[in-house]
A and B are shown apart, each in its own frame.
Chain A
Amino acid sequence: MKCRKCKAPAEIDLPSHNTACCRACFAEYFTGQVDKAIRHHGLINPGERVLVALSGGKDSLSLMLELSRQGYDVTGLHVDLGIPVSSAAARAKVENFCTARGLKLKVVELIKEGLPIPDVKQYIHRPICSACGKIKRHWFNRVALTDGFQVLATGHNLDDEVARLFANTLRWDAGYLSDQGPCLAAESGFARKIKPLYRLTEFETACYAFLNGIEIHTAPCPYSSGATFTGHKKLWSDLEYTSPGTKIAFYDGFLKRGRPAFAQVDKDQGRAVAPCTTCASPTSTGVCGVCRLKIAVTERRAADPDRQTDPDRQ
């Protein structure tokens, strides 16, 4: 197989784009897709500081590298969840990556913040991944706000976005359908949220990470259930296989024709937002959801006889 563009031997076959690339042309293609996303949706303006959420996976690290190469002012943010073994491994991958490439990194340690995920799992009776996701988002927002970042970037790729859009559509969730997309404007004290990889598939970000020698964290979280999203992704893999190009057409079509209709419906339903009385993060509930979680975990931990011999445990 030859590179469609330069006729060198191809390394990457991309049937969705009816093309194949050598590694040099793939790098150009990848950069072009990110640049197109940024320009088309006004994701980053000149001079803005960008905080990039780094989990240690292929998407977030690829995003960080590509944005830095394109000359954006990027700083990574890793939230250390405090899960035995897996969190230390993920954090090490992120720290090594940033050190090796001279990239700025901030780390929030949930153990230090009094809200490690194992305690949330033990004391809060709701699905751990929804609480964990909420806590991570809280810290991304909070650091963006307190450290003066205008933009918060995440590594969501086309497969993530299509799977989520599909799930929201199956439920006809008008609230989510009104604002899902690569750019969520800054409002009520939240930084602008952007997804510059939204045009690139999981396969493409994996190729990029490999070709750039990025070491990624792949060990699954011990609390991971093999979520329903994976099921939807399989379904879409089948669809894409039989009709190449379906994913991006579905997603782009939604942005152009679906979302505006839902945005109209959702317009008048917002609730008043004010700073959390405890941490100053914007919330519509007085004390924000994460501060309420923290209060509950702290109370139950204090009342737990198994933990009382060990008051200094962070």
Chain B
Amino acid sequence: MITVFIEPDNETLHFERLKTVLLLQQRLGLRVNDALVIRGDMLLTPDCRLQDGDEIRIRKVISTG
């Protein structure tokens, strides 16, 4: 299972079996540069593989300014 925390919505989602960051982004309706995908202190590119037990932080970047 993969745990995904979404900012700034402060929402936590769980996914079974998502192989890559790209699939996660597609599931969330996000394009490659719409949000940072963070694991620990690293940024992930769309091709990165996700592992069971991963905790991922999605930080959306579009501001309302």
A residues with CB within 8 A of B: 1, 10-16, 20, 23, 57-59, 159-160, 201-203, 206-207, 210-211, 218-220, 224, 226-227, 229-230, 233-234, 237, 240-241
Check A206 against B36 for contact (C-beta < 8 Å).
yes
Given A11-B42, A11-B43, A13-B46, residue A207 in contact with residue B36 (CB < 8 A): yes
Compute how far the CA of A58 lies from the CA of B62 in the bound complex, rounded to whole angstroms. 11
Check A226 against B31 for contact (C-beta < 8 Å).
no
- Closest A residue, CB atoms, query B61: A206
Given contacts A1-B47, A1-B48, A23-B43, 14 further A-B contacts (CB under 8 A): A1-B46, A11-B43, A12-B45, A14-B33, A15-B32, A58-B63, A59-B63, A159-B62, A203-B34, A206-B36, A206-B61, A230-B64, A237-B34, A241-B32
28 CB < 8 A contacts A-B: A1-B46, A1-B47, A10-B45, A11-B43, A13-B33, A13-B45, A14-B33, A15-B32, A15-B33, A16-B33, A57-B63, A57-B65, A58-B63, A160-B65, A201-B33, A203-B33, A203-B36, A210-B36, A210-B59, A211-B43, A224-B64, A227-B64, A229-B64, A233-B62, A237-B33, A237-B34, A240-B33, A241-B31
- Closest A residue, CB atoms, query B59: A206
Chain A interface helix/strand/loop/mixed: helix
Interface of chain B residues 3 through 51 with chain A (CB within 8 A): 7-8, 31-34, 36, 38, 42-48
A14 contact set on B, CB distance < 8 A: 33
Compute how far the CA of A229 lies from the CA of B64 in the bound complex, rounded to whole angstroms. 7
Check B43 against A207 for contact (C-beta < 8 Å).
yes
Check A210 against B65 for contact (C-beta < 8 Å).
no
Compute how far the CA of A227 lies from the CA of B43 in the bound complex, rounded to whole angstroms. 29
